[in-house]
Amino acid sequence: MMPKPDDPVELTRDVKQEARRLGFSLTGVCPAVRPEGLDEFYDWIAAGYAGQMHYLANRAEAYAHPDAVLDGARSLVMLGMQYSNQVATEPGAAAGRVARYAWGTIDYHDLIHRRLKQLKSYLADRAPTAKVRGVVDTAPLLEREFAQLAGLGWIGKNTLLLNRTAGSWFFLAALVTDLVLEYDQSHEADHCGSCRACLDACPTDAFPKPYVLDATRCISYLTIELKESMPVELREPIGDWVFGCDVCQDVCPWNRRPPDTLEAELQPVDQLNPLDLPALFAMDDDGFRRQFRKTPLWRSRRRGVLRNAAVALGNRRSSPGLAALCRGINDEEPMVRAACAWSLGRYSEPVAREMLVARRKIESDVHVISEIDLALGSGGAS
């Protein structure tokens, strides 16, 4: 016999069970309330730590309550989906690192939206008059705050949600509904203790203090969100990261033995662990689209990924890297040419200077010109 739609205990239990069947290994339920960390979020935006993520400030008021996501919201089913934690392959001199979450054959948004749609349908069948909306990343919702309220874990010093079993290698999503469900106990304990591993390991010093991230210095922001050239002083610390960064998660003690994902589409593929950087410079837009359209790398588009690749090749100098940069200095995208100019300036081979001088004679973009002039005056190609 099916339970009545208004039985919150049984309905909550069954929704959690269905969520786990759909691949969400972490499930918890909390009330739709004003998030506890809202004031800190507003202070974070005011401090300028959001950088070019202007959409956060533009809809800041919407974060005050989940009813901005769903009118009449009363409950949130908070969900976590594990992604692979297999050991990263050490990249060669002409290869780049990609964050673990992007190693698979699909953009996780597409996978999770598909599963949320199934979970939404399940709940709609059980409670036909209910309003339900599934969200992942894009809605004005402080997911980590609500995940903690739903008992999934605590927010660590690196600002990521940490779970004692799963570490931080999981995606967060939410099902927002106007139903009253049975709520889990909030996770009040902070198990970071005196550990500073994540703070001390960050290559770009992106944490001004524990529990606060300056996104404008974060490698993930710099390689994904930033839509212009990287700040000069942060290019070398980025090292060989081309898309995202895992450093603060790699060093976290809670990430030592998390379970791997069972999702086939999130399993790592060799082409992304690590990424062949010179091959990127041989791709036009159509070729890049064919290879990466369904992966997270598409978010940065070709020009963003090639900018990142150029910086990485400047940091890890090699013959294949030099050849790729000599090609990239004449790319159609000014941002790519600018990054290649900086990197060529770090090579001592005569051909690097020759390519810079040749490009300088025909370059019309003022930013690229300034990067070429900087490179010609630097130690490597001067």
Q: Other C-beta atoms within 10 Å of 334: how many?
A: 18
Distance between CA atoms of residues 219 and 32, nearest Å: 33
- Dist. CA 105–CA 120, nearest whole Å: 25
Which of 128, 116, 20 lies closest to 76, judged by CA?
Answer: 116
Taking the C-alpha atoms of residue 217 and residue 224, their distance in angstroms, rounded to an integer, is 12
The active-site residue, picked from 6, 125, 137, 205, is 137
| Beta-sheet pairing, 154-155 with 75-82 | unpaired
Q: Give the closest residue to 288 by CA, choosing from 268, 278, 303.
A: 303
Check: CB of residue 181 under 8 Å from CB of residue 62: no
What is the phi/psi pair of residue 45, to 5°? Answer: -65, -45
Tokens describing residue 56: 């956060």
Q: Which long-range contacts (CB under 8 A, 24 or more apart) does 199-208 make?
A: 199/157, 199/158, 199/248, 201/247, 201/248, 201/250, 201/251, 202/247, 202/248, 203/237, 203/238, 203/239, 203/245, 203/247, 204/234, 204/237, 204/238, 207/157, 207/158
Alpha carbons 56 and 151: distance in angstroms, whole number: 25
| Distance of alpha carbon 275 from alpha carbon 103, whole angstroms | 10
**How far is 76 from 149, CA to CA, in rounded Å?**
10
- Report the relative pairing of strands 241-243 and 95-98 from DSSP bridges: parallel
For residues 271-308, one letter each, b for 16 or more C-beta atoms within 10 angstroms of the residue's C-beta and e for the rest, the string is ebbbbbbbbbbebeeeebeebbeebbbbebbbbbbbbb
Q: Exposed, middle or buried: residue 75 (CB in 10 Å: 0-12, 13-18, 19+)?
A: buried
Tokens standing for 90? 């050490």
Radius of gyration of the chain (CA): 23
CB 223 within 8 A of CB 238: yes
Q: Among this protein's residues, is 137 annotated catalytic?
A: yes
Active site residues: 137
